[in-house]
Amino acid sequence: MSRTSGGRLHRFAAFFLFTLHTTVYTLPSSVLLWMLHSGTFAGRGMSQALPTLPNSVAPPLPPPPPLPNTNENIQSPVVIPAAPIDPTSPPPPLGYPSPQPFEGQPTQFNNRYLLGTGDTISALVERFPDLSFQSVIDAEGNIAAPLLGKIPVLGLTLEEAQEKIRLGLNRFVIDPAVTVTLAGQRPAQVTISGEVVRPGFYTLAPGAQLSAALLIAGGSTNLGDLRSVLVRRARIDGSTIEQRVDLFTPLLNGQSLPNLRLQDGDAVVIPKLEVATEQNYDRSLVSRSTVSQQQINIRVLSYAGGGIGSISLPNGSTFVDALSAIGPSPDNSNLRNIALIRFDPERGKAVTQKIDGKAALLGNIAQNVPLRNNDVIVVGRNLVGKITYALSTFTQPFRDILGFLLFFDQLRESATDLFGPTTDSNNNSD
């Protein structure tokens, strides 16, 4: 019994010590949890909590900005459609004075150069010299650039080509600074038609002005109207813009000509002078200018010359200049009865004007008329009568100036006695 009781006692003592050991370690934690639950440290906890507003809701925070997309930052070139041309409302002239444009008026020439095949452009890229280049625009309208390959620039201005190159390089470098200049300009192929001496197709030097183009074509004829020279320019999208240029008013006022530079593909048209507007147009002034034809041909029918001759005079010459060049002999010429025959394109017929040569030589301005190209001068009273009779019997109108000139050639061949000797005393000088 003693051994059994002693074993039980030892087990009870061990259990008691284990329980006491557990209680010592768990009691402080239990007390601490009880104090927190009962609010003993409520004051300290509140002092550390963030203040809140009663019955209020905190405003939502703004959403974060989206991450940048490099593809969306590359802008496409802006295509500006060509302005429509209204044929009932032509553009105002570039001469002096020029009316103020109205709103909605068609786009005028701004002299901005349009790139084309054969031009050479130079692109300078700051901070990246390896990306700078110089290239000639090929037949397809492309240039070759580092990293970008072929770039179409046909029909673009220098500013538009510069922006296109900058946007392309922006995919490889950050904010590239690009400067594009015209290193070499192509010649200009232009068409000149209308009232010019030699209409046709011409190759002009780069940057040639309108007045220089007229000189190459021989200048305007006496029938041309320089107040409304028409220049047509084709755009890359197939549309056409027009500009009317006044070259007459600067001549009249002693001012400089409009600085209109022709470009490749331009078409220049010199209109015909209308009879209704001829009164305010100084033909004599235009004929002495550099934009008009420099020489005129005058046909002369004279007994002294024995037939039809031709003399060349500077444009702007008068009847006295022709009379001095002819030098008619007073022995067989009646200077007081000279005929000036001129082709009238409006009526398609020849118009005869009697001129007193002696009065013109003595300073009578009314008799010293200005001459025009292809005028015909007939010296000799008997010959004047024959020519006047031939013109009166020719009832069919002339188609053009060529038919008018051929008339005199056929007249000389068909009338054998036209330039024969005559005993008419009226041929003697008065």
356 and 240 co-located in one domain? no
Average pLDDT over all residues of the chain: 74
pLDDT in tens, 64-117: 444 444 333 333 333 334 444 444 444 444 433 333 332 323 345 666 788 999
Cα-based angle 304, 310, 311 (whole degrees, multiple of 5): 100
Which residues share a beta bridge with 288? none
Q: What is the pLDDT of residue 4?
A: 55
- Token duo for residue 172: 């490889």
Tell me the sheet residues that pair with 280: none
Beta-bridged to residue 292, according to DSSP, are 220
Same domain for 299 and 423: yes
> Do 268 and 385 belong to one domain?
no
Highest mean pLDDT of the ranges 80-89, 294-303, 376-385: 294-303
The CATH number given to whatever domain includes residue 145 is: 3.30.1950.10
* Residue 341 near residue 379, CB atoms below 8 Å: no
- d(CA 196, CA 194) in angstroms, rounded, equals 6
**Domain count within the chain:** 3
- Cis amide prior to 97 (ω within 30 degrees): yes
- Together in a domain, 387 and 345: yes
Lowest model confidence (mean pLDDT) among 144-158, 179-193, 389-403: 389-403
User: Is 93 within the bounds of a domain?
Assistant: no
> Which position has the higher pLDDT, 1 or 284?
284
For residue 374, which of 335, 402, 409 has the smallest C-alpha distance?
402
Asked if residue 55 belongs to a domain, the reply is: no
Measured in whole angstroms, how far is the alpha carbon of residue 311 from the centre of its chain? Answer: 41
* Six token digits for residue 249: 């008013």
Per-residue pLDDT reduced to its tens digit, 283-293? 888 988 888 88
The DSSP code for 273 is P
d(CA 368, CA 356): 9
Whether the per-residue pLDDT at 424 is higher than 60: the answer is no
32 belongs to a structural domain: no
Q: Is 113 within a domain?
A: no
Looking at residue 58, its pLDDT comes to: 44
Looking up tokens 């001068």 gives 377
DSSP H/E element including 306:
none
What is the reported pLDDT for 93? 41
Please report which confidence band the pLDDT of residue 305 belongs to, taking 50, 70 and 90 as the band edges. Answer: low
The pLDDT of 214-235, averaged and rounded, is: 91
Which among 242, 266, 287 is the end of a domain?
Answer: 287
Whole-number Å distance between alpha carbons of 131 and 146:
6
Residue of 46 and 259 predicted with greater confidence: 259
Question: Nearest to residue 311, comparing CAs of 387, 223, 375?
Answer: 375
User: Does residue 370 have a pLDDT over 70?
Assistant: yes
Q: Is the pLDDT of residue 205 over 50?
A: yes
Q: Which of the four pLDDT bands, split at 50, 70 and 90, describes residue 306?
A: low
Tokens of residue 182, six digits? 């015209």
Q: Where is pLDDT greater, at 99 or 224? A: 224
Q: Is the pLDDT of residue 266 over 70?
A: yes
Asked if residue 381 has pLDDT above 50, the reply is yes
Range of the domain at 421: 295-427
Note whether 225 and 241 are within 8 A (CB). no
Give CB contacts under 8 A, 24+ apart, made by 354-358. 354/384, 355/319, 357/319, 357/323, 357/328, 358/430
pLDDT tens string 327-361: 776 666 678 888 898 887 777 778 888 899 889 98
Q: Is the separation of the CB atoms in 143 and 137 below 8 Å?
A: yes
Predicted model pTM? 0.60
